[in-house]
Amino acid sequence: MSSLNLDDFTDLIERPDGGTRRDAEARRERQIVPPGSLGRLDDLGEWLAAAQGSSPVRPIDRPRVVLFAGDHGVAGLGVSARPAGSAAESVREVLEGGRPVSVLARRLGVPVRVVDMALDCEPDAFPPDVVRHRVRRGSGRIDVEDALTLPEAEAAFLAGVAVADEEADSGTDLVVLGDVSVGGTTAAGVLVAALCGTDASVVTGRGGEAIDDLAWMRKCAAIRDALRRARPVLGDQLQLLATVGGADLAAMTGFLLQCAVRKLPVVLDGVVAAACALVGQRVAFRAPDWWLAGHKSGEPGQAKALDRMALEPLLDQGVTLGEGAGALLALPLVQAAAALAAELPEKPEAADEKAGEDHAGDEGADGGADGGADATVEGSAAE
């Protein structure tokens, strides 16, 4: 039995500020282009204002990409286009600047943070700041065994919470969340199928590098077998992550929930992030109000999870790779929405009307003060 009480997140997580959102909507009504003419950018700007508790919205100046990394034992069944245990190679390429997310982040001026939770390599293969939250070497083969022990799942979840606190405390104002894993989409498919009550075939996709038909059938069978193991523990989200998740997925779930506690907006990448968000929603129903779906990855499990959370992807560019690349493409859109909401001027008549209201309010306040003074004088004279 875990000592961690996930129910606490229900009380800790509030919705974004509704009053501020109404202020942002009223401000939008006064701007020079008609409301709705900017499409989803209007909604994004108002969402950001509510998340920040600020109208006008502040610019997104300190975004960061956070990638949780791990290897999954189920990859040994040949369910991925990449060899089992090879996620460390991708992590090294990310850190050296050679992966798509690295190129995009460099171009956009966004720092990338990689958190090793369960890579199948020696801990000294990477710098201490990458490996200091590691829970174990690889996660178990979820079709026949648990991914983690319950204490390991708790440690991974709390590591995600700690990373969220570190980001919030450092001044990060928006996170692009992704994963670097081999076998991670299989574990994600199990979580989505279990939480949505669907069959394995409904959530089984081709992964980031388009597996062939035989590999897809092996992946579908692995999800089916793991799903049988997941159903008995559906009522306990931490046990679910221990049984069919993995250290990286448990950490991402803790990270997402704590970001919602700290009022730190998150842009979700692909199916792995979406699956963890779905677990987070089961823990605290208000948590998805703090998240955006960055892009449509083409994975059926992602589509199922986002539909359950009522999150609509911002982009659909056919990016299937994962590793945060697709979600990072959505960052300029979010930043553009913030800039438009804050910097578009108001219509002259709206500005004059608002100034008149402010002036009338000032006069009313002065009149109230004068009236009070006269009453005091008259009262003194009467005495």
What tens digit of pLDDT does each residue of 365-381 get? 454 444 443 433 334 33
Q: Are residues 270 and 363 in the same domain?
A: no
Tokens of 333: 């859109």
At residue 342, the pLDDT reads 94
Q: Are residues 335 and 381 in the same domain?
A: no
Range of the domain at 194: 63-340
Helices 150-169 and 237-244, interaxial angle, to 10°? 110
Specify if 248 maps to a domain.
Answer: yes
Specify if 252 maps to a domain.
Answer: yes
Q: So which residues are the catalytic ones?
A: 323
Specify if 172 maps to a domain.
Answer: yes
At residue 35, the pLDDT reads 87
Tokens of 259: 């970001």
Helix (H/G/I), strand (E/B), else coil: 327:
helix
CATH number at residue 285: 3.40.50.10210
Q: Are residues 111 and 181 in the same domain?
A: yes
Q: What is the number of domains present in the chain?
A: 2
Helix (H/G/I), strand (E/B), else coil: 267:
strand
Q: Are residues 366 and 245 in the same domain?
A: no
Tokens of 239: 């046990």
Specify if 50 maps to a domain.
Answer: no
Q: Which residues fall within 8 angstroms of residue 42, CB to CB, at 6 or more apart?
A: 28, 35, 36, 337, 341
> What average pLDDT does this structure show over 54-61?
94
pLDDT for residue 150 is more than 60: yes
State whether the Cα torsion 52-53-57-61 is positive or negative: negative
The DSSP string of 140-159 is --TTTS-SS-HHHHHHHHHH
Helix (H/G/I), strand (E/B), else coil: 374:
helix
Q: Are residues 90 and 233 in the same domain?
A: yes
- Quickly state the pLDDT bin for 352 (edges 50, 70, 90): low
Specify if 56 maps to a domain.
Answer: no
Specify if 155 maps to a domain.
Answer: yes
Tokens of 368: 């109230």
The answer to which of 173-177, 273-277, 368-372 has the lowest mean pLDDT is 368-372
Q: Are residues 359 and 333 in the same domain?
A: no
- Quickly state the pLDDT bin for 258 (edges 50, 70, 90): very high
Q: Are residues 122 and 271 in the same domain?
A: yes
Q: What is the dihedral of CA 322, 327, 332, 337, to 10 degrees?
A: 170
Rounded Cα distance between 319 and 329, Å, is 10
Q: Are residues 322 and 375 in the same domain?
A: no
pTM score of the predicted model: 0.90
At residue 207, the pLDDT reads 78
At residue 371, the pLDDT reads 43
Q: Which amino acid is at 113?
A: R
Q: Are residues 208 and 225 in the same domain?
A: yes
Specify if 297 maps to a domain.
Answer: yes
* Residue of 166, 168, 57, 94 lying closest to 323 (CA atoms): 94
Question: Which helix (H) or strand (E) segment is 34 a member of?
Answer: none
Q: Are residues 329 and 359 in the same domain?
A: no
Specify if 150 maps to a domain.
Answer: yes
Measured in degrees and rounded to the nearest 5, phi and psi for residue 143 equal: -75, -20
Q: Are residues 236 and 369 in the same domain?
A: no
What tens digit of pLDDT does each residue of 289-302 get? 999 999 999 999 99
The alpha-carbon radius of gyration of the chain (Å, integer) is 25
Q: Are residues 129 and 153 in the same domain?
A: yes
